[in-house]
Structure 1
Amino acid sequence: MPKSIASEDIAESTLVTRRGTFRAVAFRDGAEHLALVHGNPAPGTDVLVRVHSECMTGDLFGSTRCECGEQLDAALETIVAEGSGILIYLRGHEGRGIGLVAKIRTHILQDEGLDTVDSATSLGFPVDVRDYAPAARVLRHLGVRSVRLMSNNPDKIAALEDHGIRVAARVPLLAQPSADNIRYLTAKRDKLGHDLPQLENFAGK
């Protein structure tokens, strides 16, 4: 039987934000994570979901090196526009799981010409060590078994399905490329298999 979240490791309250009102579901599963539930996602339906990896530099400080902050904003806006959905914010995923200090060290190498993948592996770090099991567990806790996943990452789809969550559809979440993030996005497409068709017509590359 899949592991569930113990009652002492979860807390819920109402969270009013500038975008709207959410049910905030904080849960401890390794790290402490947060699910934001908007509206009333109906059990048995394909719920609109974003599983978002923590990125302090992008999400909080608006770094233009990545598209993480833009994706977070777009996902929340899409959920509110639809009227219901869930955003799961997974902590401990900084730098695809290598941590904040290591990620900042990779930035130095990226400024010297390496891409987001090679800068990590050259320092001896794995390409991606993120664990999506906590997202699957909180979805089950919320009664969700099937999702429309806002993502460009096929590995995230496979990970959720491996943990028992059906991905009925993938909803693209495409950020506009810029001179600051084009190398990062290109590496994600070419080396990590992300589906990023907007890169084809980028005039600045």
Structure 2
Amino acid sequence: MNIEKSNIAKLPTKHGNFKIKAYKDDYQEHLAIMSEDFEKIEVPYVRIHSECLTGDALGSLKCDCQEQLNLALDFIAKNGGLVIYHKQEGRNIGLFNKVNAYSLQDLGRNTIEANLELGFKEDERDYSIIGYILEDLGVKKLKLITNNPKKIEYVESLGIQIVERIPAIIEANKYNEKYLATKKEQMGHLL
């Protein structure tokens, strides 16, 4: 895999002041969002956040993505660490297919059934860029902010020690109750 790295730039936000660095692989562009004191932190808090345009940018209530991203950015701004914005829309089926999956969900399918009906696995994400980013930033130990056991498994497979797991629990609403139940019951999320 060919990977390009950007320079580091400052990014003031409503959550706090950060530094950012972009990574471009053969298929996608990803973003490391670091607290201002990131280099001084021996065991940073880390959130691997998978892209969700409908949630992150548009505020969709069908998922918990924007709330988890906001929670992580607020937490990192206060406590120090890193959010990796993993650009793999819709569990890496892309925006076009995600909208088709939403349509199937409108007809009663859950998120897994919709992906399978469209010819995809329940989760198509590839985490290989995450290992590269963590290595590039010198992360050898971390405190992982996640509910997803696959992210825990992947980070551990890199030989990076997870000192602590911090849950990213978001309150359900009438639009995402089924989605969150599917994540918990069928995908093993720690909710």
In 1, distance between residues paired with 2:51 and 2:173? 21
1:158 and 2:143 aligned: no
Tell me what 2:129 maps to.
134
Aligned partner of 1:97: which letter? N
TM-fit CA distance, 1:140: 1.2
TM-fit CA distance, 1:167: 1.7
Aligned partner of 2:171: which letter? Q
Contact 2:41/2:81 (8 A) holds in 1 = no
In 2, distance between residues paired with 1:98 and 1:71? 20
In 2, distance between residues paired with 1:191 and 1:37? 32
Gaps spanning 5+ residues in structure 1: where?
Answer: 197-205
**Alpha-carbon displacement from aligned partner over 1:110-160 (angstroms, at most 9, x marks no partner):** 111110111110121111121122122111111111111110011111112
Using the aligned pairs only, state the percent identity: 39
In 2, distance between residues paired with 1:44 and 1:12? 17
In 2, distance between residues paired with 1:103 and 1:144? 32
Tell me what 1:112 maps to.
107
1:24 and 2:20 aligned: yes
Structure 2 SS opposite 1:9: strand
In 1, distance between residues paired with 2:144 and 2:19? 19
1:124 and 2:119 aligned: yes
Correspondence for 2:163 among 163, 168, 179:
168
Tell me what 1:189 maps to.
184
In 1, distance between residues paired with 2:127 and 2:161? 14
> 1:39-188 to 2 correspondence within 5 Å?
39-41=36-38, 45-82=42-79, 84-91=80-87, 93-188=88-183
Greater Cα offset, 59-68 or 100-109: 100-109
How many residues end up aligned between the 2 structures? Answer: 190
Structure 2 SS opposite 1:46: coil
Aligned partner of 1:87: which letter? V
Tell me what 1:202 maps to.
none
In 1, distance between residues paired with 2:17 and 2:109? 42
Gaps spanning 5+ residues in structure 2: where?
Answer: none
Contact 1:24/1:34 (8 A) holds in 2 = yes
Cα distance, 1:98–1:71 mapped onto 2, change above 3 Å: same
Contact 1:43/1:144 (8 A) holds in 2 = no
Greater Cα offset, 66-75 or 43-52: 43-52
> TM-score with structure 1 length normalisation?
0.87
TM-fit CA distance, 1:71: 0.3
1:36 and 2:23 aligned: no
TM-fit CA distance, 1:43: 6.3
> TM-score with structure 2 length normalisation?
0.93
TM-fit CA distance, 1:166: 2.1
Aligned partner of 2:103: which letter? I
Structure 1 SS opposite 2:76: helix
